[in-house]
Amino acid sequence: MKTMKNIKALILMMLFLTALSVNVSAQNKTLYYYGSIKNDLYIYLKNNGFVLKTYPTPAAAIKAAPSNAGLLLLGKTYPEADSQNSISLTSLKQLSTKKLKVYIEYPAAYPNLDLSSKPLETHLERGVVTTDIFGSSLPRLALLGIHNCHILPVKVDSPLIVLAKVVGVDKAELGLDSTTTYPLFFRKDNVLISTTALSNFKTGRYGPEKSVRQVLSYIVVQVTGAKNIHLKNWEGDVRPAFGPNEPLPETARLNSIKAGVEWFSKGRFYVHPEWKAHWLKYGSDGLKPVGPPVSQSKPNGDGSLGILEGHTSTIYYDGSQQYRYWMRADVQGEASMALAAAGALLNNEDFKARSARLIDYMFHTSNLRAGPKNDPNSPAYGLIGWATTNAGTFYGDDNSRAILGAIAATAYLKNSKWDKELAEAIMANFRTTGKEGFRGERLEEADIIRNGWPYYYNRSVIHPSPHFESWMWALYLWLYDKTGYEPLLSKTKEAIRITMANYPEKWKWGSSLQTQRARMILPLAWLLRLENTEEHRRWLDLVANDMLKNQVDCGAIREELGKGKGMFKELKNNSDYGSDEGSLITMNGQEISCMLYTNNFALFSLHEAAKVTGDKKYSNATDRLADFLVRIQVRSEKHKDLDGAWFRAFDYGKWDYWASNSDAGWGAWCTLTGWIQSWIVTSQVQIQQQQSFWDITKNTALKTTGKAVVENMMKAPQK
């Protein structure tokens, strides 16, 4: 009996302790709140089981809160100031007397805190942790992406997080000594204060998500007094289509292709006559043609006025992104290719019609092929201008992608209308290529007219940079196959030989050595189409194998810096961040992949290598990379202009859109209708159909047209 009584007593005690635990948990999960009920943190906490009692003013919330309660005071109108969100000296005394656990952000007033200055709006600055209190997963100098931060400039001692422009991916690698810092999150009078809206984390797309969640968890733990708070993940407004280990449906690639090409319309990238003036307002600036996104209420054009470049990497506080209003030739050709390829696969006549209009725009309607470029007697004849704002500037790489794109489009469309212009564009580049097969980074129309094309054809230039040179080599090989014009082959082979002799130490590697490898694979694969020699196979295997050493389990190809100085400014000081084009990484081994310069072009090139060699190594690498790109394609119900896109950067370790955003032109969160989108979409179409670009374009009518163009354009100019 005694034993039974003891058991009953033990059970009663356990029930009492359980009830007490439940009551304590419930008490800790009740918070007193001032702010908007649409606030991200408010919604997030409710979804995590918290009870938030709302009040019309901070004073009312302070008055209602019992002793030791948790209190959140958040501005309702961020980034505008909320005059009600103020703490008076009387309120501060109440907080202290009642021992309230308080978090306040973006306050209009606080005792002994000078908040008289207007908020600063920042872009390149990021949050930098200055303490170890957040735990080992968010150590001192760790970085937080608080996009388009509006911050109250104050002076405080020992902040927990500051805002600063710093070099680094996950940490401020050069420290904080050489940069201006703004206290962002700190403790004062035993109150946690943020000088920006940390609670805007979901709307503002702060990242990386895991790090942001760690800061939020700290705030909630401090406000509730509970030690066992574990906040769930939130579904971002902009997120990858699939997780790293999530099974892909059989239709995943087809759905990705469809979403990828429909994104052109979702983003309102086709210029429409109704808002042409809006485009010109921003697009006429040849230095920085950027502006706010095109409203979703605006109609789409049909392609006859061209297609815009895409988004910049600037994310506004509301999660929207700035647009880049450049009208570039390469984008027109590349997008025409993606539209035609998807149109053929999906039997979509609208895609095909838009494709044809973009090619017409590039060659006939715009200034991209106008003036001296359309005068048969001009040394610049046949060249395609870089952009409508820079129609007299010629990058061989940009010309090559415009031409390759349009060639593929004509093959899918089964339309030879533009064959003459395409052959002229290739030969215009060839006759301004030096005797060793290099053109250099860029040429200018005025110089070409002054010097004449033979000057460039006969000069000596050595420029071992596959990013700038190699896809024009691929075009020369392609046209040689169609015309038999021997200099196209011999000059290209010499350039490739010199480039491979300089591999890798003397390659001008730019933002990434992987970029150079991804670009070099294409001409090496097509050289095998013409001359399948042991040396040529060895060249292809050398470059491809070195690139694939950094293909990781999920299929991504990791970025890699070359030895020595790249083409762009080294980040030796924090002030260098954002001052030039550059890499997504700061040291090798960081788990970052690039869809602007590497993975996009690698997918296309590896598929061509697989088709010419039949080597399973290449086809397996292609399939793995293709699946990775399906997984990381953007999904967003809120931001229609991003749904179906690919960003430049992806951190496959975090499975998040994250990297260094130092590139001054095309940062981590940029999109590109041409470079990124079109090559990924087209490559996925060709993988789906098990076709190669070479075979798709093999029977082009350009064979006949090309021979006539070669003969005409390579005649010595009359003196």
- Tell whether the model's pLDDT for residue 612 goes beyond 60: yes
Give the pLDDT band of residue 27 (cuts 50, 70, 90).
Answer: low
Q: Which residues of 228-248 are buried (b: 16+ CB within 10 A; e: fewer)?
A: ebebeebebbbbbbbeeeeee
CB 639 within 8 A of CB 238: yes
- Tell whether the model's pLDDT for residue 24 goes beyond 70: no
Tell me which of 15-24, 31-40, 338-347, 641-650 is least confident: 15-24
Q: Is 101 helix (H, G, I), strand (E, B) or coil?
A: strand
State which fold the 252-713 domain adopts. Glycosyltransferase (1.50.10)
Give the pLDDT band of residue 194 (cuts 50, 70, 90).
Answer: very high
Q: What is the pLDDT of residue 25?
A: 55
Model confidence over 28-60: pLDDT tens digits?
789 999 999 999 999 999 999 999 999 999 999
Phi first, then psi: give them for residue 624, nearest 5 degrees: -65, -45
d(CA 260, CA 673): 10
CB 166 within 8 A of CB 172: yes
Q: What is the pLDDT of residue 14?
A: 43
Model confidence over 147-183: pLDDT tens digits?
999 999 999 999 999 999 999 999 999 999 899 999 9
Q: What is the pLDDT of residue 177?
A: 87
- Tell me which H or E stretch contains 592: strand 592-594
pTM for the model: 0.95
C-alpha count within 13 angstroms, C-beta hemisphere, residue 391: 17
Model confidence over 442-479: pLDDT tens digits?
999 999 999 999 999 999 999 999 999 999 999 999 99
Q: What is the pLDDT of residue 26?
A: 56
d(CA 400, CA 146): 38
Partnered with residue 310 across adjacent β-strands are: 324
Q: What is the pLDDT of residue 299?
A: 97
- Tell whether the model's pLDDT for residue 21 goes beyond 50: no
Strands (E), 80-158: 101-105, 120-121, 126-129, 143-144, 150-151
- Indicate the pairing of strand 321-324 with strand 393-394: unpaired
From residue 609, how far is each of 7, 527, 613 by CA, in Å? 75, 10, 6
Q: Is 6 helix (H, G, I), strand (E, B) or coil?
A: helix
What token pair was written down for 75? Answer: 């501005």
User: Which value, in Å, is the radius of gyration of the alpha carbons in the chain?
Assistant: 29
Domain borders along the chain are 33-224, 252-713
Residue 400 or 24, more confident = 400
Residue 657 or 287, more confident = 657
Model confidence over 540-586: pLDDT tens digits?
999 999 999 999 999 999 999 998 778 888 999 999 999 999 999 99
CB 633 within 8 A of CB 611: no
- Tell me which H or E stretch contains 197: none
Q: Is 32 helix (H, G, I), strand (E, B) or coil?
A: strand
- Tell whether the model's pLDDT for residue 531 goes beyond 70: yes
**What CATH number is given for 33-224 in this structure?**
3.40.50
Averaged confidence pLDDT in the chain:
94
d(CA 248, CA 227): 38
Region 412-425: mean pLDDT is 98
Give the pLDDT band of residue 233 (cuts 50, 70, 90).
Answer: confident
